[in-house]
A and B are shown apart, each in its own frame.
Chain A
Amino acid sequence: MKQINHKSENSFWLKLCEKGIPGIVMAVILGVFIQLKYQYHFFLKEQISFFAFDGQHILSYLNKPSFFSKLVADFISQFFYLRGTAAIIVPLLFLILYFSIKKVIQNFSDGSLGGFYALFPTILIIIFVFNVNTDLTYFISFLLMLLLFEGYSLLPSKWWRSLVIFILIPFLYAAIGGLVSFLGILIFIYEIKNNSYFSLLRRMLTVFILIFSLLVPLMFRYHYAISLSQAFLYPVDYKLVSLGWILAPLFSLLIVILLAEIEDQQYFKLCLCLVSVAFIILIVFGCYTHVNLNLEKLLALDSEWYFGNIDKIYELENKYEYKSSAGACYCNLAHAARGELADRFFDVHQTGPQGLVLPISNKGSYLPIIFANEVYFYLGDVNASQHLALLAMIFSSNHYSSRLLRRLIQVNVINEEYKIAEKYLKILEKTLFHKKWAHNLLLMLNDNDEEKISYISWVRDKRLNVPTKEDLRQTNDCVKAFELLLERNPENLDALHYKLCYHLLGKEVEAFANTFFQFREILLRVRVPKLYQEALVIYYINKPDLELWSQIPVKPAILKKFIEYNNLYVHYQGEGRKLEKNFKNTYWFYYHYAKAEKEE
């Protein structure tokens, strides 16, 4: 009875595999995961990629190998602009790939577990898509390579089949890149397996296909002016993703083909167990390497800021604990947008001045450059924002970004540099999801309707703040930027609070106090935030004789608390942990104990 049950269980499992149910279940899990936990990575993929329905743009894909994969990948990526589409598109792609791999495995042998084996390479390659530095191109190349193999196997088994593929190899290299070599390997194995029917000519052609497919990248690297490794690895940038991960899906495909081949062997079960365990370890390690949930949380802040959802940022801030400077940067930005920068100072895990404006460097990721560009734009320093938008575009993987183009347009419209704005608008007008915005703006520029332009909310708001006094500054000289902004418009409260908080985060109490005194008329119009009062008390202790103190209202309760803090500080001999309970949210505690956190 037990045996019958066992057999029926087996046949049920085989039926599920045959129908591809494991793949479908996995696709559903994937869709749910993306929707609930990983959608912001895909928003970013859209923001830093670009697809335009423009002949010149499309022709430019021909400049590098794998033009067709890249074209399809960019075309698909533009749909990630819409909320929820990534959770549909990625599982769909997963399913197409899964069934293609299943079919390829079946082409090699009649193994009944093809639907199970196909999961492994598919998962390995989909993990690759989750990496922040990759786009869909490798995935599409892989898929196209499998479809080409499928197409090849469907051709009548005549001598000209090999000849056709032999002739097509250079074109296929142009279309799908370095994976054409792997296609050659697959075809070689496939033909060798069926070699009982071969004539000498066909055997020779099969060997030629293999050799030619391996040589084509070498031959074409001169045409495309790329390095040796690039020639084989295109479309993947091996500087951004390790070679092991690029090759893992390819080897896994070969292994599962082999596994399907040995299903009848006695030692099959042992092999299956070993391979499954190895794959599971690899997949877990892959998830650990490529699926960055911490970055996802950060990208959530970034995208919600880009979409203008301040409420959502508040929600995210409450939900997650952001400990990086980039996280602090967006939380502070959202608070500033609500006029609560100083009031909610300790709601943010402050990491120092870089938690207000991220420092810029031309080494490392482009993400901090995008984030810093948002801060400068918000404050009104549009020239700095322009500089960073251009830099981010240069350092991003595609060097073309819909989001950064939008920013450059905004900056140039604000600066009344309409010719440059027009150039960017014409590019964006040819996209699917940004064309309406670009078209409307372009109409206004073409009509030369300055009145209409100046009524656009971001133009009106920013033009009030854009510095007008010519001065020079270094890239990371934020204080100079704040000063220029305040010189232009002393009522720019955002710039003022940023400057004050920047000094406080840098523990520059004197610079803070001087700024406070300089702008006291503006600051004293409303309630002085507790944070500022606490900082002023420190300065007061050092400079009690200043006449200005008569004008600065510091609550007696704060003064009292400060004395209490000082007494306890002396009493505990500066042991921070004992002070933390009562004084954690005071500037004095920050002043004594805060350290810049390690970056995520």
Chain B
Amino acid sequence: MVYFKRCKRTKRKFTLMVIVFSFIGCNKLPQLSDAYEFGHSPEIFPDYDGVTVPYNIAPLNFELMDSCQALFVKISSAKGENNFSFRKKKVYFPEKKWKKILSENKGDTVFITIYSKKGDKWRKYNPIHFFVSKDSIDRMLVYRKIMPGYQTWNTMGIYERDLSNFKEKLVLNSEIMPGTCMNCHTFRNNEPDSWLLHLRENFGGTIIFTNDNLKKIQTKIPQTFGSAGFSYWHPSGKYIAFSINKITQIFHGVGKVRAHALDMKSDMVIYDVEKNSFFTSPLINSPDAFEAFPCFSPNGKTLYYVSSPAGELPQDQRKMKYSLCSVSFDEQNGIIGNKVDTLISAKMLNKSVSIPRVSPDGRFIMLTQLDYGNFPAYNPEADLYLYDLKEHKMRALDAFNSNDVESWHCWSSNGRWVVFSSRRRDGLFMDVWIGYIDQNGAPRKPFLLPQKDPEFYDSFLFSFNLPELIKEPISVSPHRIAKVATKSKGQQAEFDTSH
């Protein structure tokens, strides 16, 4: 009897050991010398072949699109080789090991050789590779997740994602603030110390965080036709440029363009954070033109924006073409210059440009070019372009562009990385893409925001809106924001005529 019990115990121990070793043995090299060679590269999702990645990016987990029972993945570079085994066809790199591989290979190319097992046989694909840049990317990515249900706000949230791993943290969502639309989160110089976001419908207002102080303001003043919309912080943090837009949504009867956001009217104002007051100039607030999407230069001396002659919408929708303009700005006295320069003329281009964003070194402006209008989210032809402020030339960022929408771009603080939204995968859901751009403005093949589960995008029913890079996590909790937003109506902003 005792012997029987011992046998049973030994058997249990043996089973346990088999289980443990089957896990530990994952990295054990299988017999690959006689693997059949396909002679072509593997098809993987997301496609990481030939991309450039920052050395502080989360593991590029992927899925082999061919069916197989097991995978053996060899990561090799000049610095050495690492082997990984996986059951089935999904590859999950251990975070620690991944970080080590990237930090050892800064400025170098890393090769991935995939062996897949079908039946008893191993098959080998041609290696794929990615380049590890010496330039890091800002740690946090802030975006809004919203169902692509056109313009509704019942279910949405703003989140921040740590790009060096897969952790995502809530900033604010519609569960804490029911019936509230939250949008246009904007940061000063990629810093989490000064930011703002708008709330619409329930608890409407603008939340501004600066000097560790959270406040809510009401931006609708008698001098403007609506509340403040698209925004951009002055590098000093003293001012915020806003466009005031009257946006309405209209639907397409047919085709891939399901809906369209029409900017029926727009003007621009500048907000003095300390004084809680707005000021403007007839040059950026003209009844004969629609001005939108402001952006300050890194030295704060120039204000860029897009402008189109006023029109009657929706009938003039396709005639609305926006030019890139600039006006000088005196930070000391808060004075807007008296001369507008047109950098890109929509008339000459016969296209429209929108969302100008100046690179941190002040040399380039990245913008979206589209056939008409200024709201590129629904224009499949919308592509990213780079305007060289030194040579005064504009060129397409072909490596970043696709046949579908590319827009809502944001520079990293070092100017080497750009995050942007694109509907390229299926034409409906907006995803975040990350691309490298060198000091001469040359882009390299971008990659899809990595997720822990490579199948994440297969069942994820939200779009990622307005990706913004920041250096560190936001220090304010969702409940603190919600408290400020719900407890008070907000301070009423004034209009300052002295400017």
Contacts and interface: CB of A to CB of B under 8 A. Distances in A.
Interface range, B side: 35 or more
Given A227-B482, A481-B253, A394 B149 contact: yes
Interface in B309-324: 314, 317
Interface in B439-494: 453, 455-456, 458-459, 461, 477-479, 482
Contacts of A427: 458-459, 461
A473 B175 contact: no
A390 B149 contact: yes
Interface centre among B251, B258, B426, B478 (most CB of A within 10 A): B251
B427 A222 contact: no
A252 to B, nearest CB: 29
Given A230-B175, A426-B458, A471-B254, A420 B426 contact: yes
Interface in A470-493: 470-475, 480-481, 484
Given A390-B148, A473-B250, A226 B175 contact: yes
B254 A383 contact: yes
B17 to A, nearest CB: 27
Please give me the 8 A-B residue pairs with the lowest Cβ-Cβ distance, nearest first.
A390-B149, A419-B426, A484-B253, A394-B149, A225-B170, A467-B254, A467-B253, A420-B426
A221 B176 CA distance: 10
Interface of A: 52, 54-57, 221-222, 225-227, 230, 239, 362, 381, 383-384, 386-387, 390-391, 393-395, 399-400, 417, 419-420, 423, 426-427, 466-475, 480-481, 484
Contact of B173 (A225, A419, A468): A225
Contacts of B366: none
12 contacts: A56-B453, A230-B175, A386-B258, A394-B149, A419-B426, A468-B254, A469-B254, A470-B253, A470-B257, A471-B253, A472-B314, A481-B253
B178 interface: yes
B150 interface: yes
Interface string B132-169: 00000000000000011110101100000000000000
Contacts of A481: 253
Contact of B176 (A227, A400, A471): A227
A417 B459 CA distance: 17
A346 B147 CA distance: 41
Given A56-B455, A419-B426, A427-B458, A484 B150 contact: no
B252 A471 contact: yes
B459 A469 contact: no
Given A383-B254, A417-B426, A239 B147 contact: no
B255 interface: yes
Given A391-B150, A394-B152, A472-B253, A420 B456 contact: no
A222 B254 contact: no
A56 B252 contact: no
A52 B458 CA distance: 13
Interface centre among B148, B170, B255, B478 (most CB of A within 10 A): B255
B283 interface: no
A381 B253 contact: yes
A387 B150 contact: yes
Nearest to A399: B155
Contacts of A423: 426, 429, 458-459
Interface of B: 147-150, 152, 154-155, 170, 173, 175-176, 178, 250-260, 314, 317, 425-429, 453, 455-456, 458-459, 461, 477-479, 482
Given A399-B461, A400-B461, 19 more contacts: A222-B479, A225-B173, A225-B175, A225-B478, A239-B178, A384-B253, A386-B258, A387-B251, A393-B149, A393-B461, A394-B152, A395-B152, A417-B426, A419-B425, A420-B428, A423-B426, A472-B250, A473-B250, A475-B251
A529 B61 CA distance: 64
A367 B79 CA distance: 61
A470 B252 contact: yes
Contacts of B170: 225
A383 B253 contact: yes
A394 B257 CA distance: 20
A420 B314 CA distance: 29
A225 B149 CA distance: 24
Contacts of B155: 394, 399
A222 B149 contact: no
B253 A417 contact: no
Nearest to B157: A225
A227 B173 CA distance: 11
Nearest to B453: A56
A59 to B, nearest CB: 9
Contacts, number: 114
A399 B173 CA distance: 15
A383 B456 contact: no
A405 to B, nearest CB: 9
Contact of B427 (A387, A399, A420): A420
Contacts of B173: 225
Contacts of B459: 52, 54, 56-57, 423, 426-427
Contacts of A420: 426-429
B150 A383 contact: no
Nearest to A471: B253
Contacts of A383: 251-255, 258
Interface centre among A225, A386, A387, A427 (most CB of B within 10 A): A225
A464 B314 CA distance: 29
A470 B260 CA distance: 12
A63 to B, nearest CB: 10
B479 A384 contact: no
A400 B260 CA distance: 25
Given A54-B459, A56-B455, A417-B427, A484 B254 contact: yes
A386 B155 CA distance: 18
B452 to A, nearest CB: 10
A468 B254 CA distance: 6
A419 B423 CA distance: 12
Given A225-B175, A225-B176, A426-B458, A390 B147 contact: yes
A225 B428 CA distance: 28
A109 B154 CA distance: 48
Given A222-B479, A225-B176, A423-B426, A391 B152 contact: yes
B358 to A, nearest CB: 34
Contact of A472 (B147, B154, B251, B477): B251
Contacts of B147: 390, 393-394, 399
Contact of B258 (A381, A387, A393): A387
Nearest to A54: B459
Contacts of A221: 479
Nearest to A226: B175
A423 B460 CA distance: 9
Nearest to A230: B175
B251 A384 contact: yes
A381 B178 CA distance: 32
Contacts of A426: 458-459
A470 B318 CA distance: 12
B428 A473 contact: no
A495 B78 CA distance: 67
B479 to A, nearest CB: 6
A386 B456 CA distance: 23
Contacts of B260: 472
Contact of B154 (A55, A395, A470): A395
Nearest to B478: A225
B297 to A, nearest CB: 37
B427 A470 contact: no
Please indicate which of the listed interface residues A386, A390, A394 has the most CB atoms of chain B within 10 Å of its own CB: A394
Nearest to A366: B154
B456 A472 contact: no
A390 B461 CA distance: 10
Contacts of A394: 147, 149, 152, 154-155
Contacts of A419: 425-427
A225 B150 CA distance: 26
